[in-house]
Chains A and B, each alone.
Chain A
Amino acid sequence: MIETKTLPTSYVSQPGALKTSSGHTLRTDEMIINMGPQHPSTHGVLRLEIVVDGEIIVDVIPHIGYLHRCFEKHAEHMTNYQQVIPYCDRLDYCAAINEEHSYVLAVERLLKIEVPERVEYIRVIMAELQRIASHLIAVGTFGIDAGAFTPFLYAFHDRELILNLFEMTCGARLLYNYFWIGGLSHDIPPQFVDKAKEFCTYFKPRIKEFNDLLTFNEIFIKRTANVGVLPKDVAINWACSGPMLRGSGINWDLRRDDPYSVYHKLEWEPKVGKGEMGTVGDVFDRHIVRMREMEESVRIIEQALAAIPAGNVQAAIPKRIRPDAGEIYARTETPRGELGFYIISDGTGTPFRVKGRAPTFVNLSVLPEISRGAMIADLVLIAGSVDIVLGQVDR
C-alpha cells in the first residue's frame, strides 16, 4: 500500500500536534474514520480515510494501490503489440472496449496504417454499446449508494442484453480482445444489425422508466442537488474529464474536439450539465449527464447501424507489428473520461514503454476538494458520482 500512518496509541489531545497529509492541523474534537478497502459502497478496493467533525467532513485522504497489477511492466515484456490488448481490457473491466479502442488507436497511428471504413463503423457501434453498458453500472450502483436497490436490477437487466450482443460477435461477455491492431478479431455476424436495432428500440423507454423511478424522485433530488459541487475552474485545473467535466458545464468531448474514428460523420452532441435541480456541477448534474449520454449513444448506434459499409475487417491487419522508433500519445473518450496511451517504440516488436493515463485516477484526486464540508452520507454519493473503477485507478 502507498503509505501507512501511525497515531499515538493513547490519544492525548494536543492541538496542533497531528497533521494530515494535506497540511490540515487536527483539532481535538475530530474523529478519523476509515472507510476501508472492504466496504459495501466504495466501488472496489479503495480506502478513504475521513477526518470528520460530527457528521461534517473536514478532510478525505484516499489511499489506492490495492488493485495494482503492473500493467505497464507487463506491456514491456510482451512479444508483440497484439498481446498487450487483453491487458488493456482489464484496466477498466466495466468498459473494456473503450480501453482497447484507445490502445489500438495509438498503435495504428504509430504504424501509420489506415483501417477500412467498415472497421471504423463497427468500432464506433461497439464503443457506444459499451458506453451504455458502463453507464448502466454507474447509475445503478449510484442508486444503491443512495439507498434505492431496485433501479440497479433494472439497469443490469438491460446490460445483459448488451452483453449478449457482444457475446454473439466475439464470444466474450466482459473482456473481449475484440479490437485488433488494424482491424477486428471477428466480423459482425449476420443477425447482429437486427438485434442491435431491436435493442435500441427496447432501450429508449427503459431510460425513461429509470428516470421516473430514480432520477426525478424528489428524495433523490434532495440528496444529490447542491452536493459535491465541482466548480468549472477546479475541474479544469485538476484535469477532470468525461462526465465529471461535462457535469460542471464545460462542453468538452474528445469525440468531437479531438476527433477519431468516424464520430465526425455522425450527428450527435455532447451532453452538458446545466444545474437543473441545484448548482451547476453538483452530483445530480453528473448523474443526469450520464443518463442523457446513454440516450445520445443510442442515437449514434442507430445512425451507425444504418451506415455500415461493406468490406473486410481483417484487410489491414499487419503481419508483423514493428513500428519505427518513436513515441505517440493517443486519447479517446471513455465512459469515465479521457483515456490516453503514451507508447514509446524502440523499433522492435515489443513496446519499450506503454503508459496508460487513467481518467478515474485523475478524477479521484479531486475528491478531497469537493467533499470538504459535506456529510458522510454525501461523501458516499460524491465518490459514487466520480464513477471510479479501481482497476483503472491502480492499473
Chain B
Amino acid sequence: MEAFQNLGFWGTLLVTVVLSALPMVFILLYALVTIYLEMKVAAHVQDRLAYMRTGWHGVLQPIADFIKLLQKEDIISVAADRKLFILAPYIVFIGTYGGYAAIPFSSIFIGANIDLGAFFIVAVSSLVVVGILMAGWASNNKWSIFGAVRSAAQMISYEVPTVLAMIVGVMITGSLNLQDVVKFQAGGIQDWVVFGGPLPLLQKLLISPFTIVTFLILFVASLAEVNRTPFDLPEAESELVQGFFTEYSGMRWALFYVAEYANMFLVSAVAVSFFLGGWGSPFGSALSGPIWGFFWFVMKGMVLIFLQIWLRWTLPRLRVDQLMYTSWKVLTPFLFVCILGVGLILVL
C-alpha cells in the first residue's frame, strides 16, 4: 500500500477498490473449497461417500450449488419487514468482511495497516450481532426470533473470552497491529506465541502452559462466535429448523452461508496471527517470502478450519444456559488467571 502514495485521487481510489476486492476473491474461492471439504470430511467420518457425481469425486458440486442458488425464486413472506429482511444478510456479511481489512495475509499485503488492528476486528465483527437480530426480527417468525435472540446472547458473551485471549497475545507481542504481531514471531516455530514467544528459555517454559491454554480457549470462543457445534443452538436444525435464517432462501441464504464461512476463517486468522505465527514459516527463514507467507497463512488457517469441522461432527450441542455457564464461569476465569500469570512472568 505504501508504494501507491502519489497516484492522485482517482488512481488511489482505483487501487483501493481493487485491493479491497482481493479478500473477496479469496473468500469466494475459500468458501468453495471449505464447503466441499466440510461435506467430504463429514461423509468420511460417517463411513459414507458424499458428492461423487459432479466432476471427479464431486469437486464441481459447490459450483453447481452456487448456480442452483442463483436461479432460485426470491421469496419474502408478506408479513415480513421487507426493508430489514433485505438488509440483514448484507449487514452480517459486512460485519465479517470488514474484519478482513486488518488481517495480514502476507508480508506485503494487509488491507489496512492500522495500529489498532485487533481492536478494529473485534469492533467490526460485532456488527454481525446486529445483522442477526435484524434477520430474526424481520422474518416475523417465532422460531427465527428465538434463534436470533439466542445467537445475540451467545455472540456477545463469547466476545469477552475472545478479547481477553487476544490481550494475552498483545501482552507478549506488545502491539495491537496484527502485522507487527506476526513479524514479532518471525523466527520459526519456536518463536510462536503459543509456545511462549521469542523469549529467554526459562520465561518461555513458564509462560507456555498459559499460552497454550489461552490458545485453546480462543479456539473454543471462536467456535461460539461462528455458531458452530457444539455452540450452534441458534441454528439448531433439530429444534428451530434453521434458527434465525429459516425464512431465507436462494441467494440471500447463500449470503448468510458464505458469511458464516468467512467468519470461520476470520476468527481462525486472528487466532493464527496471534498465536501461530501468521504468515511466518515454521522453519524460520527457510521457505519464507511474500508468496510462501501467503501459503503458510492459508495452511495454518485451514488446519484450524479442519479442527472446527472435526468438532462439529463429533459433539452434541450445548443448551443455552450451559453455553452461558461455559463462557462466564469457565472460560473467563481461566483467562483471568492466564493474564495474571503471563503478566507476572513478563514483568519478573
Contact = CB atoms under 8 A, between A and B. Distances in A.
> Which of A149, A223, A375, A378 is packed against the most chain B CB atoms within 10 Å?
A149
A153 B44 CA distance: 11
B319 A378 contact: yes
A154 B47 contact: yes
Interface stretch (A8-16, A72-80, A118-126, A212-220): A212-220
B316 A148 contact: yes
Nearest to A157: B47
A41 B238 contact: yes
Given A31-B142, A153-B46, A219-B230, A214 B237 contact: no
Interface in B200-232: 229-230, 232
Nearest to A41: B238
A55 B317 CA distance: 17
A214 B317 CA distance: 11
A145 B317 CA distance: 9
Contacts of B316: 143, 146-148, 214, 217, 219-220, 223
Contacts of B233: 377
Interface in B131-172: 142-143, 146
A380 interface: yes
Contacts of B146: 55, 376
A213 B72 CA distance: 39
A346 B207 CA distance: 87
Contact of B236 (A147, A214, A219): A147
Interface of A is mostly: helix
B241 A40 contact: yes
B315 A148 contact: yes
A219 B315 contact: yes
Interface residues of A, number: 29
Nearest to B322: A222
Contacts of A380: 238-239
Contact of B143 (A33, A223, A377, A378): A33
A144 interface: yes
Contacts, number: 75
Nearest to A379: B239
Interface residues of B, number: 27
A223 B238 contact: no
Nearest to B45: A150
B83 interface: no
B320 interface: yes
B34 to A, nearest CB: 18
Interface in A131-157: 143-150, 153-154, 157
Interface string A23-64: 000000001010000011100000000000001000000000
B314 interface: yes
A388 to B, nearest CB: 15
B238 A144 contact: yes
B48 interface: yes
A40 B46 contact: no
B15 interface: no
A219 B321 CA distance: 13
A217 B311 CA distance: 13
Interface of A: 31, 33, 39-41, 55, 143-150, 153-154, 157, 213-214, 217, 219-220, 222-223, 375-378, 380
- 9 smallest beta-carbon distances between A and B, as pairs: A147-B317, A153-B46, A41-B238, A146-B316, A148-B316, A147-B316, A377-B319, A220-B316, A145-B238
24 contacts: A31-B142, A55-B320, A143-B316, A146-B317, A147-B229, A147-B236, A147-B316, A147-B317, A148-B316, A148-B317, A149-B46, A150-B45, A150-B313, A153-B47, A154-B46, A217-B315, A217-B316, A219-B230, A220-B316, A222-B319, A223-B316, A375-B319, A375-B321, A377-B236
